Structure 1
Amino acid sequence: MTFNNLSKSKRFAILLILGLLSAIGPFSIDMYLPAFKTIAKDFDSPVEKIQLSLTAFFVGIALGQIIYGPLLDKFGRKKPLLIGLIIYIVASILCAYTEDANHLIAYRFLQALGSCSGMVAARAMVRDYFDPREGAKVFSMLMLVIGVSPIVAPSVGAFVLAHFDWHVIFLILAALATLILAAVIFILPESYKGNKEMSLYPKDILSGYWSVFKTPVFLLYALVGGFAASGLYAYLSGSPFVLQNLYGLSESEYGIAFAMVASCLILATQLNRLLLNRMTSEQISKKASYFQAFSAIALVVFALSGIQSLYVLLGLICIFLCAQGFIFPNTSALALSPFSTLAGSASALLGCIQMALGAASSAMVSHFHNGTQLPMATVMCIGAVTSFLIYLGLPKFKRKPRTI
């Protein structure tokens, strides 16, 4: 099936479903952030313990993508995707009815294993349909859907907390996933029927991942995008405490502030589509990496100054997320560009690297929690500066990519 031969309504439906599949993970992260304090109080646990449920989610996504990659290459995109969505729905229901913090952490890990199927499949299907430049534009369009989640999800979570309780948040997530599951079954066409001759023996799977990993173009752009994204996950992990506890925002005010900051990410992804008509993906993401590193350094200086200004803090975070909106779609398309038959594995490894770094940054924010905004700012800075330094070394490693 050729994407361009489809009707406009069919193409729109496919892109919308791919966006929703990509947004399952982010929505699962953002929707329960306003409930951290409530969940901690309900379980009689410290907030740091509840933060570990977020870390467990990141770890689950990182590991789960490694599992789904070869399955998507062997069996096609849809069958593994359907299994993952079912796992997600079951895990969400378990999260809703748990009464223990440790169980919540475990179920969130299982929920992540299900959600990452959508993220891997969506990236692989973009690679199936589009060349790198068009792929970067499509990733920007998908980011429009993904970017809505930080705006809508915390607000929905805050509304649920105001009228019901935190358990309902996970029931809503289960219901949304059920609707997406139906859309995948009845609307989303198969973009790659799979390679039945592909072996799923561990040795052969590792060999396939090694082929992807040692491709210079993939590795360098995956690391650039991964370290940049790690700063975003540090913000997600640390922002509930910083904005609610240090700056005194209520749950609804936190949702509004979170939405305002996230709108910068959405705006950047859509501007990226226009800039791609005049600049290359590499040029755009390199300049954005510079601005992200600058804003992250400024965040650390601001945190060390001891000054508390909500407007300064949110302004610097806006610049940081705006840069992320340019970095993510371009580095993703560039990292996946050398692959065809191994697109699923490449997508999985790309996501694994990003989420592993995200899990590490989230854990660092929790581990170094000291009652200030410095741990969040420092981890964001480490990620952004490392990403930029890797970008500075890119010309030494660039080679003409070969398709595998």
Structure 2
Amino acid sequence: MSQDFAERPTAFVADETAEARPKPQRLRLLAILSALMGFASISTDLYLPAMPTMAKELDANAGSMELTVSGFLIGFSLGQLLWGPLGDRFGRRLPVAAGLLLFVLGSAGCALSGSPEQMICWRIVQAVGACSGVVLSRAMVRDLYEGSRAAQMLSTLIIVMAIAPLLGPIVGGQVLAIAGWRAIFWLLVIVGLVTLAALFTIPETLPVERRSKDSILDALRGHLRLVSNRRLLSFAAAGGFFYAGVYAYIAGTPFAFIEYYHVAPQLYGVLFALGIVGIMLANIFNARLVTSFGSRRLLQVGSAGAAVSGLVLLVTGSTGWGGLAGLAIPLFVFVSWSGLIVANSIGGALQDFPAQAGAVSALVGALHYGSGIVGSAAVSRLADGTPFPLALVVAVAGVGSLLSLVLLPPNA
């Protein structure tokens, strides 16, 4: 850690200050925040092509392996309720560093697992660590920017960090072919250690005078008060329903594409990458328009698009119409709406709570990824060897995202 950063922990304390920093510092901050936000994606996307192979080697069925996604989401959603208050009380960097160490430990445990049960347990540990970077990187954005500008920066970060899920399944498929599935988790160990080292090259964004004096228990009680805020809950619910569909997609497509439609594991990564390209394009669109049209309006457009594409998928997934293309194209359209839904859902929820950015980010993240648990578990529970369960869950998620927005008060 450089002396400059150590002695000036309150750099980046306002929007104007952040913009005024030298370009190399701003680019480094952008890169590291993007990496931290990407830990949720790389933790799962890298091993998606390996799931059928892992099921065979660990003597597990498709449902059991899909539960490794659900297990990750359990740790990821509950862990955020811890890291958010810790980040508000002790600053952002120290909790993120502790979380990265847990991520490294969990990834190593996954690499050494000999059964589905062990894998699920270590995935929970991995997730608790990974979510520290995700929840607190969002809070760091709120430390630096406000309102629509925060939503715009979140979209920019998502565009940059989308490289991870774009390349993840492709890289994972190649690692699987060359070195086996365990090497994928050893690669995650390396990624965690490199990110931990990079973390200490950027300044703390939450100065001491702005840190919460509440105990962690008081902060956890505060989550209950935040949940009663109708505006916050509505923004969070719109994103939460969508996350249920996204994680149904993540858990269900390896088996739908690879086993049902006989797509090669290496080519699965290409199909998955198409969805990430759609997300990137939609985030570019969102970043350019959000300051003009506002988070709520673009969130409504995205939720409506998700509902329509989910219903189309339900028709094609239940009838088999169009074969692989009939399944892949509506899924591509559905996940692409993430560009208008995720950043605006988070930005809208954070807007009214600058002093509680960590807690709000944690609560919204817990609701989002908790919904992901429901989506991935539903696909696992309903698994029947066909794409229908995947299509059903995605359709319900899209419609739910749209309907949740009617809960927003008239003056929102």
TM-score by length of 2: 0.93
Per the alignment, residue 396 of structure 2 pairs with 382
Using the alignment, how far apart are the partners of 1:142 and 1:213 within structure 2?
26
Residues 293 and 26 (structure 1 numbering): CA distance in 2 closer, same or farther, change over 3 Å?
A: same
- Which amino acid in 2 is paired with 1:183? A
Q: How far is the alpha carbon of 1:304 from its aligned partner?
A: 2.1
Q: Does residue 17 of structure 2 align to residue 5 of structure 1?
A: no
Contact 1:87 1:113 in 2 (8 A): yes
Using the alignment, how far apart are the partners of 1:241 and 1:274 within structure 2?
37
Q: Which of 300, 304, 307 is the matching residue for 2:318?
A: 304
- Which amino acid in 2 is paired with 1:265? I
Using the alignment, how far apart are the partners of 2:291 and 2:79 within structure 1?
35
For residues 19-59 of structure 1, what are the alpha-carbon distances to aligned partners after superposition, in whole Å with 9 as ceiling and x for unaligned? Answer: 10000111111000000111111111112111111110011
Per the alignment, residue 278 of structure 1 pairs with 292
Give the unaligned 5+ runs of structure 1: none
Using the alignment, how far apart are the partners of 1:399 and 1:69 within structure 2?
28
Q: Which of 349, 356, 376 is the matching residue for 1:342?
A: 356
Using the alignment, how far apart are the partners of 2:291 and 2:34 within structure 1?
22
Contact 2:303 2:337 in 1 (8 A): yes
Per the alignment, residue 253 of structure 2 pairs with 239
Contact 2:149 2:291 in 1 (8 A): no
Q: Which has the higher mean CA deviation after the structures are superposed, 45-54 or 205-214?
A: 205-214
Q: Please show how residues 40-79 of structure 1 align to structure 2 within 5 Å.
A: 40-79=55-94
Q: How far is the alpha carbon of 1:253 from its aligned partner?
A: 1.0
Q: Identity of paired residues, percent?
A: 33
Q: How far is the alpha carbon of 1:277 from its aligned partner?
A: 4.5
Using the alignment, how far apart are the partners of 1:334 and 1:277 within structure 2?
12
Using the alignment, how far apart are the partners of 1:197 and 1:256 within structure 2?
45
- Which amino acid in 2 is paired with 1:91? G
- Which amino acid in 1 is paired with 2:370? A
Using the alignment, how far apart are the partners of 1:27 and 1:95 within structure 2?
14
Q: How far is the alpha carbon of 1:319 from its aligned partner?
A: 1.4
Give the unaligned 5+ runs of structure 2: 1-10, 12-16
Q: How far is the alpha carbon of 1:199 from its aligned partner?
A: 2.8
- Which amino acid in 2 is paired with 1:55? S
Q: How far is the alpha carbon of 1:398 from its aligned partner?
A: 4.2
Per the alignment, residue 315 of structure 1 pairs with 329
Q: How far is the alpha carbon of 1:201 from its aligned partner?
A: 5.1
For residues 199-224 of structure 1, what are the alpha-carbon distances to aligned partners after superposition, in whole Å with 9 as ceiling and x for unaligned? Answer: 3252x123321232222221110111
Q: Which of 19, 25, 34 is the matching residue for 2:40?
A: 25
Q: How far is the alpha carbon of 1:91 from its aligned partner?
A: 1.2
Contact 2:159 2:284 in 1 (8 A): yes
Q: Which has the higher mean CA deviation after the structures are superposed, 108-117 or 272-281?
A: 272-281
The residue matched to 2:38 in structure 1 has which SS? helix
Using the alignment, how far apart are the partners of 1:193 and 1:106 within structure 2?
36
- Which amino acid in 2 is paired with 1:56? G
For residues 324-343 of structure 1, what are the alpha-carbon distances to aligned partners after superposition, in whole Å with 9 as ceiling and x for unaligned? Answer: 21111111101111112211
Q: Does residue 378 of structure 2 align to residue 369 of structure 1?
A: no
Q: How far is the alpha carbon of 1:261 from its aligned partner?
A: 2.2
Q: Which of 182, 188, 192 is the matching residue for 1:167?
A: 182
TM-score by length of 1: 0.95
Contact 1:86 1:114 in 2 (8 A): yes
Per the alignment, residue 225 of structure 1 pairs with 239
Contact 1:58 1:112 in 2 (8 A): yes
Q: Does residue 30 of structure 2 align to residue 15 of structure 1?
A: yes
User: RMSD of the alignment, in Å?
Assistant: 1.4
For residues 161-189 of structure 1, what are the alpha-carbon distances to aligned partners after superposition, in whole Å with 9 as ceiling and x for unaligned? Answer: 1111111100111101111101101x121
Using the alignment, how far apart are the partners of 1:320 and 1:196 within structure 2?
39
Using the alignment, how far apart are the partners of 1:176 and 1:358 within structure 2?
24
Residues 398 and 86 (structure 1 numbering): CA distance in 2 closer, same or farther, change over 3 Å?
A: farther
Using the alignment, how far apart are the partners of 1:14 and 1:73 within structure 2?
19
Q: Which of 110, 124, 129 is the matching residue for 1:109?
A: 124
For residues 58-97 of structure 1, what are the alpha-carbon distances to aligned partners after superposition, in whole Å with 9 as ceiling and x for unaligned? Answer: 1100000001111011101111111000111111111112
Per the alignment, residue 143 of structure 1 pairs with 158
Per the alignment, residue 215 of structure 1 pairs with 229
